């Protein structure tokens, strides 16, 4: 059944992306039947898609099971490279790590999840592994709260209605009424704090990265372990440094976006 009635919608492409997305935490390798069950697609359709993806190098097969290949990373890194946000943020993240002694990251919103686009980590006791491309439910993170707080009401409803694709369940999920109250507070003060909502022992503070119009396009955070860093240290010590770093990333991001685009001449004379 088609998901879109417009003539320009390519159902075959959508199904191919469904197959790629069904692999994830806890499901690194699946049989054809398992992929069909996970996507709701017919087995013959799944078979053709998997064969196509295998020939393109995005999937490999072994003894009747299929798994993604590292080539899939090209799809995500193409986005990061085209946006340039990760590269712009890294020097500021490294400086922030030196000043705070904590891991720092920058993320953007994708549906109801955040996706990390840059991170500088320090060797500390952590309960969740985070790398570029990692997804977490936005509502359970300081980064996500900053991003959600900037959305218009209808857009916020639409985003929160989307199921998370992170494969991670929040340790202490918030009810919608509680989340709305938290987001109002984030809008008022301009930053967000989470304390062991995503996972035990993890607390963080985040600030927005804005474009030239003031719209929040990303968020940057300082992440700490609850056993090592009290909330007071995060808010009183690290937050001022974080806000300054977020402002610097915002300025660099807008300057990069406003740069004159190179014009390639076609004049051969």
Between 253 and 121, name the one with better pLDDT.
121
Cα 116 to its chain centre, rounded Å, is 4
Identify the pLDDT of residue 77: 58
Average pLDDT in the 181-197 region?
A: 96
Residue 160 predicted with pLDDT over 70: yes
Q: What is the mean pLDDT of the chain?
A: 87
Identify the pLDDT of residue 183: 97
Which region holds residue 38: left if phi is over 0, alpha if psi is between -120 and 50, else beta?
A: alpha
Between 25 and 208, name the one with better pLDDT.
208
**Alpha carbons 103 and 118: distance in angstroms, whole number:** 11
Task: State the angle between helix axes of 11-22 and 43-56 in degrees (0 to 180), rounded to the nearest 10.
Answer: 80
Identify the pLDDT of residue 211: 86
pLDDT band, residue 181 (cuts 50/70/90): very high
Question: In the beta sheet, which residues pair with residue 68?
Answer: 59
Lowest-pLDDT choice from 74-83, 228-237, 254-263: 74-83
Question: pLDDT tens for residues 80-117?
Answer: 554 578 888 899 999 999 999 999 999 999 889 999 99
């Amino acid at each position: 059944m088609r998901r879109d009635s417009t003539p320009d919608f390519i159902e075959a492409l959508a199904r191919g992306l469904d197959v790629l997305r069904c692999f994830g935490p806890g499901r690194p390798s699946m049989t054809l039947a398992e992929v069909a069950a996970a996507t709701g697609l017919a087995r013959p359709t799944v078979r053709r898609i998997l064969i196509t993806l295998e020939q393109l190098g995005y999937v490999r097969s072994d003894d009747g099971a299929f798994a993604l290949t590292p080539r899939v990373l090209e799809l995500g890194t193409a986005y990061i490279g085209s946006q340039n946000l990760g590269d712009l943020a890294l020097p500021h993240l490294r400086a922030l790590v030196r000043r705070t002694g904590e891991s720092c990251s920058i993320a953007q919103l994708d549906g109801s999840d955040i996706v990390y686009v840059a991170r500088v980590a320090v060797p500390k006791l952590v309960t969740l592994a985070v790398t570029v491309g990692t997804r977490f439910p936005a509502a359970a993170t300081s980064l996500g709260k900053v991003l959600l707080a900037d959305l218009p009401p209808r857009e916020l409803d639409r985003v929160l209605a989307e199921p998370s694709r992170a494969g991670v369940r929040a340790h202490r999920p918030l009810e919608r009424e509680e989340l709305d109250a938290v987001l109002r507070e984030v809008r008022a003060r301009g930053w967000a704090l989470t304390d062991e909502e995503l996972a035990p022992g993890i607390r963080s503070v985040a600030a927005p990265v804005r474009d030239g119009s003031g719209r929040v396009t990303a968020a940057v955070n300082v992440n700490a372990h609850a056993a090592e860093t009290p909330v007071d240290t995060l808010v009183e010590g690290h937050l001022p440094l974080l806000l300054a770093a977020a402002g610097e990333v915002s300025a660099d991001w807008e300057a990069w976006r406003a740069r004159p685009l190179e014009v390639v001449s076609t004049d051969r004379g």
